[in-house]
């Protein structure tokens, strides 16, 4: 008999990110440490859950402080009848199987041109592919992104299934962190 993943409940204030970007408005919450500690991994993990009884599925990101943070888009905030600064009730549980990530077009093109890299890519775990994609898409400059794609293909061609020297929890290198709050 398969055991169902446990559901965790908490209440948290919806924070406004200091740097929202050019897209639609969004909010975030940092999970309580005790809830985050019960998740299957410190790195990225997908959860299903509810915010004020409104269902969602979302990828949690590590906050670099041994917890996770959750991004909530404007559509979900409206459906949950809540906004920045308010307290919201959450119920979450980790999903059994991580969904496959969308592969950026430039990375996919590079992989298709390198059969060895593509073979290793296909042999990695879903979470490893999420980490590769995150490492590439977080480059701030186009030339850095291109270098990371080339480096990724090179490492994958050599049989490396994980991004070298990339702390997926953000705790040791602080490569990952929650957004700064504007609240």
Written as tens digits, the pLDDT of the chain (183 aa) is 555 668 999 999 999 888 877 778 899 999 999 999 988 888 888 999 999 999 999 989 888 888 899 999 999 999 999 988 999 999 999 998 888 999 999 999 999 999 999 999 999 999 899 889 988 988 889 999 999 999 999 999 999 998 866 666 555 455 567 777 776
Beta pairing class for 54-62 and 45-51? antiparallel
Q: Which residue has the tokens 């919450």?
A: 29
Pick the closest to residue 170 from 139, 144, 131, 127 (CA basis): 131
Q: Class of the 8-94 domain?
A: mainly beta
CA separation for the pair 138, 174 (Å, rounded): 14
* Model confidence pLDDT, tens digit, residues 118-130: 999 999 999 899 8
Q: Which residue has the tokens 């950026």?
A: 104
Name the H helices within the chain. 33-36, 74-79, 105-112, 115-123, 126-137, 142-157
CA separation for the pair 173, 138 (Å, rounded): 15
CA separation for the pair 128, 135 (Å, rounded): 11
Q: What are phi and psi of 78, to 5 degrees?
A: -65, -45
Q: What are phi and psi of 177, to 5 degrees?
A: -160, 160
pTM of the model: 0.75
pLDDT at 168: 61
Could you tell me how many helices (H) and strands (E) the chain has, helices first?
Answer: 6, 6
- Domain ranges (residues) in the chain: 8-94, 105-158
Q: What are phi and psi of 15, to 5 degrees?
A: -100, 145
Pick the closest to residue 104 from 76, 69, 142 (CA basis): 142
């Amino acid at each position: 008999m398969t055991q169902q993943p446990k559901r965790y409940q908490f209440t948290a204030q919806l924070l406004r990110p200091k740097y929202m970007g050019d897209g639609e408005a969004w909010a975030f919450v940092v999970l309580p440490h005790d809830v985050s500690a019960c998740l299957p991994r410190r790195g990225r993990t997908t959860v299903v859950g509810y915010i004020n009884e409104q269902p969602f599925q979302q990828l949690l990101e590590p906050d670099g402080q041994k917890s996770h943070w959750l991004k909530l888009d404007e559509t979900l905030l409206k459906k949950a009848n809540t906004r920045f600064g308010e307290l919201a009730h959450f119920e979450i549980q980790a999903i059994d199987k991580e969904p496959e990530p969308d592969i950026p077009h430039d990375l996919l093109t590079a992989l298709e041109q390198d059969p060895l890299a593509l073979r290793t890519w296909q042999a990695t775990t879903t979470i490893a592919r999420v980490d590769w994609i995150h490492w590439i898409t977080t480059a701030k400059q186009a030339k850095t992104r291109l270098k990371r794609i080339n480096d990724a293909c090179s490492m994958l061609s050599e049989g490396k299934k994980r991004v070298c020297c990339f702390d997926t929890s953000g705790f040791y290198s602080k490569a990952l962190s929650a957004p700064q709050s504007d609240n």
